[in-house]
Every structure is written in C-alpha cells, then in structure tokens.
A and B are shown apart, each in its own frame.
Chain A
C-alpha cells in the first residue's frame, strides 16, 4: 500500500445537491469543493441532513437535483458498487457470517488481483490497523475497538479515492475514542486518501478535520478550518455548536478604531469585531475562556454566583446588574486569593475576542 500524493483534480465537488423526503427537505442545495487528500468533517445535530448527504455521495440515496463529481467523473447516476468511493458504516456492517479476512477481501473481487495479491493486500490491511493474527476470527468474537478497525480496513481495501465515515467513533467509549482519533488521522495522512467524516461531536470534528462544514436543517451554513469556525463563527448557531458561548443582545453602534464597532447592550457599551449597519439588532458572542473575571479591575460589574472547580480550570457564573448571567472560565490561579462566591467582581470583555453576529 503506497501513499497518495495530493491531487486537487481528484477532489469531490458537490453542486446544489438537494434531497427531499416527501415534504421534508433533508439536504437543501448543498455545494462543496473538497481537495484530494483532505480530511473533512460534516458537523451538525442529528436530523440536520449530514448522513443523507454522505449516503448520496456513497450512492445509497439519489439526489433530487444537483450533481456529485469526483475529479472528472460524474458520480450522480452511478450505483454504489460502481463508485470509486467507500464507506465505513456507523454500525460497522461487518458481515457476521464471514471471517475478518473474508470481510477484508470482500471488496477485492473484480479488481483483477491474483490470489496472492489479494492475500498480500489483506495482510497489509491487517498490519495497517494492527490486527495481525485476527484473520480467522468472526466479527462477533471481536471487541468494539477491534470491530471498528476491521470496518476501517475493509473500507480502505479497494484503495478508494474518497473514504466516507459515518460517526466512525460513535460506538466507542471515551478513552478509546481519543486514542482512535489520533490513529485515524495518522492513517489518513499516510494514505493521502480524502476522508469525509460525519459527526455530531464538535470536539471530535475539531480534533480530526482539516476543514469542518457545519450543517443546519439541510443547509451547509459555514465551511472552514476548525479554529476559524471556533473563533469567527458566522452565526449564533455555529457559535453554539462548536462550544460554549455567551450571547449578549444589543444594537450596533458607530465604528471604533482598530476595525472594532461599539454595541449598545443591556450591560452597557461593548466593543467587538464585526460589520453591519448602525442601529441593527445584533448579538455579541464571546467564549467563556476569553472573559476576564477579577476582584477589582476594569469591566462590567457583577456578583460571582457560582465557582466550579474542574481540575485544570475554574468555571464562573457571574450575575450581572440586569439579572443576566455570563459564564467564564479561567486556568487555575497558581497562587493568590481565590474569588469567593457572593463577592462583587468585574467582567472584562476583550474586544478582539468578541464577535458581532446577526441577531
């Protein structure tokens, strides 16, 4: 098995792909360009259409309109077994009546490989997922993690140009999941195959992907590298999906120096990054770890309502003058007096970390 070089012309291109189930539009005019060799994550809650989109790329659903191309090939009308695309199923879908080796070899038929070549490929796959010696096992005699690796190896057997993974780590427990994330990345880097992973877990998407596409009710609402999405979400939906966020309602004010705008909120005037016409209702989004809570400093006055010890961090809930609550989190102070619940505090909102989003 040899590593692929990245070929931009081998990328996946979706053009206004739409799928309806009776009255419900599951996937709504999604367009997307993926470079060859990219690790891409489709992120969204269940029912947002991400699995349907994946199944259309695999060929299990036919789009009502739009085209799906891989490099020069139009996949839209091809049946699944004729697509140079493979899928790793959420349930793994290992054939229960076949051994591990037979499962791995299943896709090799029709590739024109000799018996020896097939055996060699199966061996290489077992090595790739560190399952040497398990060839004769039946799937029901494997652990969850081993099954997951067989499913991955089987989907890679045909050396697809694009691998689709439907919640690939969903069935694993937490410790195993983190370990497997690293493994999945390593395998993807080594083979250079494009991966498209569907997940509802933002932390997993950020840990795995070169780029993330966020889906909301059938639409692809924002695409970008994990850090961009986390720090510069385009909407409160994306902001909330990628992590905890404070949302403060307000009205857009005048421009300030340094690409900042002032926003009039119930907590007072804030400065934040963003655009729009003055007077528009907006929302200021700021991550808890960006807020600075202190006993005596500049900022918005409030009362510390709760302080939760999380090991490496402390999470604060601060009740503001108007009764609303801001959530903040900070690294454990190395020394000095800790803040105590009930005391008056100030909350500083760093303008460069606050984003102005449409209300």
Chain B
C-alpha cells in the first residue's frame, strides 16, 4: 500500500471513530460540560438506569425491532429466493425496483405516506404500525444480504438433492435453508439494528404510548449535549459492536462458504 493510501485510510477511520470516541469518553465524565474533564465517573449510567421513561422507550424499541426484523427476515428471504431462483419472470425489473426503493427513499416520505395510509384505513397508531413500517423498509436490506449468499451458492447442490429423490420442500429445508441460514441471521440482525435506530419513520407512525428509544433520545438532544444520553449511546454502541461481530462471524464462517 502506498503512503498516500495509508494516510487516507487512517484519516478516514479517524474521522469515523473520533466522534464516537468522544461520546464514549464523555459518558464517563463527572462534569456536565464537554470541555471540562471532571474526573472519571459512572454517575450518568446510574441516572440512566433510574430514567423510567427512557427504559420504557428502550423496551418498546426492542419489541418493535424483534417483530419487524422477523417479518423483514421472512419477506426479504422470500424476495431474494424469487429473484435468484425463479429466472427471468415477467416484471422482474419492477420487482427489483420495488424491493430496493424503500432502502434509498428519504425517510420523511416513507414515514409520512405510511402514516397517511394508516389514518386512511383507520389503523390505530402504536406498536403494530411501527412494526409494519420498519418491516417495510428493512425487507430490501435482508434481500440484499441473503441474495449475495444465494448468488454464491452452487446451484448443483440443490439439483443433486432433487436428483437423489428429495421433493422441493425437502430440498429447501434440508439443503438451501441450512446453507443460507447464516446470511438470513445476518439479515435479521441488520433489520433489527435498522429498526432500533430509526427516528424519522417512527416519529410519523407511532402513537401515544409507543415512544421508541430514538424518539426519546431525540427529544432530549434537541436541547443540547446531555451526559445521560452519552451513557445510553455508549451502551448502544457496545451492543451494536457485538451484533456486528456476530453477523460478520456468521457470514464469514468457513463451513458455510463452501
């Protein structure tokens, strides 16, 4: 690697991590001010754990994330299978577009239009609408992750199973699914964190009693830097780091890579 490339890479990584590091370091700051280091303290974590509304919001978020990631996992896997295994069916281009569009669509549009639909059909806003909204925009991400694995899968494995007398259902559950399972799990985790992270769409489609963690955090950080939020952020970053490690381990495992 040339010196220039090395420097560029180091700067980019520093750019990515310095703000996160600042956040983590100042969550242990005894002082409430950013520029003053008041000594090491875990007091903000104590404040955090006594913050009832914040913990309630976190629980709502976890519930919504688990449900929506499950739906997105099923839908995204189905879509990836359809795109990879059904050949050039009619409307394939439109299908791909419909699948990927929610991934890049500005969240304000997705959020607003989903809310208008829910109001139009008289669906009460709450956990259910949050789950539907998050499943909708996460499906494409799952499809991308699973699709990448399917593309790399030797098609003759499934043919061999059929050749050996396995009916399509047995081929799918005995061969295809176990071989793509790591990517399905990784897709699920991605959908889970996307749901956990979403502020904009949730703000539109949630209702009274269904405040998510990002909504709660947003209402606090609008007022400025808040060490309690730093502490919450640090915990979230640690959790996400763990999830990413798990996911990359899942998708990179040798046995699954053939």
Contacts and interface: CB of A to CB of B under 8 A. Distances in A.
Contacts, number: 74
Given A60-B159, A91-B156, A96-B179, A154 B258 contact: no
Interface string B160-186: 111111111011001100110000000
Nearest to B163: A87
Given A93-B154, A97-B255, A87 B166 contact: no
Contact of A107 (B156, B164, B167): B164
Interface stretch (A78-86, A127-135, A260-268): A78-86
A140 B254 contact: yes
Given A96-B255, A140-B255, A89 B165 contact: no
A110 interface: yes
B167 A81 contact: yes
Contacts of A87: 159-160, 163
Given A80-B159, A93-B157, A95-B175, A106 B254 contact: no
Interface in B148-162: 154, 156-157, 159-162
B162 A80 contact: yes
Contacts of A109: 165-166, 170
Contacts of A140: 254-255, 258
Contacts of A107: 163-166
Contacts of A81: 162-168, 171
Most buried by A among B154, B164, B178: B164
Contacts of A189: none
Interface in A93-109: 93, 95-97, 106-107, 109
The secondary-structure label for the interface of chain A is loop
Interface residues of A, number: 29
B247 to A, nearest CB: 19
A60 B154 CA distance: 14
Given A86-B164, A109-B165, A140-B255, A95 B159 contact: no
B contact residues, range: 20 to 34
A154 B255 contact: no
A86 B166 CA distance: 12
A140 B159 CA distance: 19
A89 B161 CA distance: 11
Point out which of B163, B168, B255 has the most chain A C-beta atoms below 10 A from its C-beta: B163
A200 interface: no
Contact of B156 (A85, A89, A155): A89
A327 B205 CA distance: 83
Given A140-B254, A140-B255, A93 B166 contact: no
Nearest to B164: A107
Q: Which of B156, B160, B171, B255 has the most CB of A within 10 A?
A: B160
A111 B175 CA distance: 19
A97 B179 contact: yes
A80 B175 contact: no
Contacts of A122: none
A82 B170 CA distance: 13
A16 interface: no
Nearest to A106: B164
B156 to A, nearest CB: 4
A80 B255 contact: no
Nearest to B157: A93
Contacts of B168: 81
B119 to A, nearest CB: 48
Given A93-B157, A97-B255, A140-B255, A58 B163 contact: yes
Question: Which of B156, B167, B171: most chain A CB closer than 10 A?
Answer: B156
24 contacts: A79-B162, A80-B163, A81-B163, A81-B166, A82-B165, A83-B163, A86-B164, A89-B156, A91-B156, A93-B154, A93-B157, A93-B160, A95-B175, A96-B255, A96-B258, A97-B255, A106-B161, A109-B166, A109-B170, A110-B165, A140-B254, A155-B164, A158-B164, A158-B165
Interface of A: 58-60, 79-83, 85-87, 89-91, 93, 95-97, 106-107, 109-111, 138, 140, 154-155, 157-158
Given A81-B168, A96-B256, A154-B164, 17 more contacts: A81-B164, A81-B165, A81-B167, A81-B171, A86-B163, A89-B156, A89-B159, A90-B156, A93-B157, A93-B159, A95-B157, A95-B175, A106-B164, A107-B166, A109-B166, A154-B160, A158-B164
